[in-house]
A and B are shown apart, each in its own frame.
Chain A
Amino acid sequence: MMGIMRNALRERIRRKDIYVVIVLGLLIALMCMSGTVTLSIDGVAVTEVRMLLPLVLNVVSVVGGGMAVALSLRTIPNEYERKVSHLVWMRGISQWNYHGQLALANMISSVGALFILYAGMMVFAAVKGETGVLIRSIPGFALYAAGTAGVSLFTSAVSLIFPGMAAGVLAAAVMLAGTMQPVLRTLSGIVSGMPRGILRGILAVTPDLYAASSQAGEFLLGKKVDAHSVLGGLLFLYAGAALLYIVRKKECA
């Protein structure tokens, strides 16, 4: 039933790019958590897990979003370029089923890569004796991964509509605008006229991925989670899936 997805995942593992992306992400996470970090707030070095965790989660969330774009951008177009799709049509498999399985493979690999970075942070929390954080880490990851999963689905969907470069730029732009929403919101309050209109427009059409992923930090630290932000992440995930369902390719033999 899920043969297409399994094959796509196997290919993903065979390819080396996923390892490169993971190593790169791990490097960034390790840099943030190492003793060489020079962040300080009001002159106090930021080293405590409870202070550092939300910051590292934000950084990893951006890296995770980038990985999701990189891992999801070429999967479906490559299938069409290799004419594998013809074999699928011949077997009577629907486009939605085909695209859905490929997008699911993208999503699993993106979330899996994110989990490796997340696990690194949890090891750091364990070393620091933060048992409360560890206990909440699994449901916390579900909250954390919704945005990355959404980015992966959205990238898969736009890769069906636009050529490679345009799809990549669009997916990366949405991901960056989503993870930088607080910065854009603040900028929109500083500028006026047309720039404000443009920023407000970007804010209106992009998901608040920052708020969605930062709820994981709140949850891990035992603070109150904002339901609106979590639902925003899930809605983006849903929108990605819906777009994937709506967009169809011409089935030429």
Chain B
Amino acid sequence: MRKYRNQIIAVVLGMVLFVSWLWTGKREISGEDKKIYEEALGLQEQVDELGFGEFCLADYPVAMYDGEWDHVFYDGEIKRRKAVLETFAGTAYPVEDHFEVIVPTLEQFDSLLSLAGGVEGIVSGSGYGAKEQVATIWHEAFHAYQLTDHAVLGERITPEEMQEGLEDRMEGGEEILSEEESIVKEVDENTDVRNRLEKEMGLLEDTVEMLRADTREGNGAADLAEHIDGIQEMVLEYRECRRERMAKMTEAARDAEIRCELTEGTAYYVEYSVYGMTAGEKTCEERYLENLGRYEGGRGKYYRTGLAKCLILDALAPGWKETFDFTKGLDEVLTACGRM
């Protein structure tokens, strides 16, 4: 026994180390992620002031995916479960009979965006932090709200139907082009349509800039009244450009664009508003409005055109959300408000 004393001590030490390592390694959600969710919930009253009816974050489970598990925040509890969507995505996703918000944990999101930023991103981090994560949670919760409480463009989809659609797509059984594919094919790859859309985005950006300038100068309503003709003129020019462009697209591509702008644009508007509540107006404007007219391939550009239209509606028809129910595209809403 004495002969093996050192070996026994070494083995016991190793076992203690291993057990301690296992014991401290319980995969719980980090305190930072818990704080982020609490902070997001705490903004409910301010979000209520945006005016989207019964939209309430606490109504939807929020799952944070850590690369292995989902940590689901709901009804005052945090439950861990096997990940339902084993990939890093911010989305509203069907789970059983309801829609849930799914986002990566802050650590994973930051890491993901750092990777996208190349070597500099990997070394310095992405700059995506708690405030951005809070805004993302609200963005995705707004999608859950759209899907749960509304018939988007007159079409209501249940969680079961969406799940079936996703499974069909994964099995390659669906031959219809996706929203993204329609947009790429008919907008991004068609030089004429693309150029026209770039011009429209410039007009929307200029309109929002004019509205912001009025707000900055301090006289708000008075300045707006003074410039209203100019703003109306820009909106009308935009409308004509859009009408001509839409005539060159198929119905499927038009529908894809209108739907994307409606769902993502309004969610991006909520994200923008929430980010402004936590990060302040200046930082928020730098992040969201300074590239409002920037064209990009795929669906991303419609986040910005949708946001621009929501901001224009806020200025020209402040009560637009009272009757807004996602059954019409944002341009139709502008027209219905008598502003186009």
A41 touching B17 by the CB < 8 A rule?
no
Residues of chain A touching chain B, judged by Cβ–Cβ distance below 8 Å, are 39-42, 46, 55, 58-59, 182-183, 185-190, 192, 227-228, 231-232, 234-235, 238, 242, 245
Our pick among B21, B111, B127 for the contact of A183 (Cβ within 8 Å) is B111
Q: List 13 A-B contacts (CB under 8 A).
A: A40-B120, A41-B124, A46-B124, A55-B123, A59-B123, A186-B88, A186-B115, A188-B67, A189-B65, A228-B25, A231-B17, A232-B21, A235-B18
Who on chain B is nearest to A232 by CB?
Answer: B21
| Known contacts A55-B123, A242-B14; A231 and B20 CB within 8 A of each other | yes
Cβ distance B21 to chain A, nearest Cβ, rounded Å: 4
Our pick among B25, B87, B123, B124 for the contact of A190 (Cβ within 8 Å) is B87
Q: Cβ of A185: which chain B residues have Cβ within 8 Å of it?
A: 67, 108, 111
| Known contacts A192-B87, A227-B24, A231-B17; A186 and B108 CB within 8 A of each other | yes
Q: Cβ of A182: which chain B residues have Cβ within 8 Å of it?
A: 107, 111
Who on chain A is nearest to B109 by CB?
Answer: A186
Cβ distance A119 to chain B, nearest Cβ, rounded Å: 22
Q: Would you give the 0/1 interface string for B82-124, flagging 1 where the beta carbon is closer than 8 Å to chain A?
A: 0000111000000000000000100110011001000010111
Residues of chain B touching chain A, judged by Cβ–Cβ distance below 8 Å, are 10, 13-14, 17-18, 20-21, 24-25, 65, 67, 86-88, 104, 107-108, 111-112, 115, 120, 122-125, 127
Who on chain B is nearest to A56 by CB?
Answer: B123
B21 touching A39 by the CB < 8 A rule?
no
- Cα A159 to Cα B25 in complex, Å, equals 31
Cβ distance A230 to chain B, nearest Cβ, rounded Å: 9
| Known contacts A231-B17, A235-B17; A190 and B24 CB within 8 A of each other | no
Our pick among A40, A189, A232, A238 for the contact of B87 (Cβ within 8 Å) is A189
A231 touching B108 by the CB < 8 A rule?
no
- Cα A232 to Cα B17 in complex, Å, equals 9
Q: Cβ of A227: which chain B residues have Cβ within 8 Å of it?
A: 20, 24
> Which of A41, A187, A189, A245 is packed against the most chain B CB atoms within 10 Å?
A189
- Cα A13 to Cα B67 in complex, Å, equals 45
B115 touching A39 by the CB < 8 A rule?
no
A228 touching B112 by the CB < 8 A rule?
no
Who on chain B is nearest to A227 by CB?
Answer: B24
| Known contacts A190-B112, A235-B18; A42 and B127 CB within 8 A of each other | yes
Q: Cβ of A245: which chain B residues have Cβ within 8 Å of it?
A: 10
> Which of A59, A188, A231, A245 is packed against the most chain B CB atoms within 10 Å?
A231
Q: Cβ of B10: which chain A residues have Cβ within 8 Å of it?
A: 242, 245
B24 touching A228 by the CB < 8 A rule?
yes
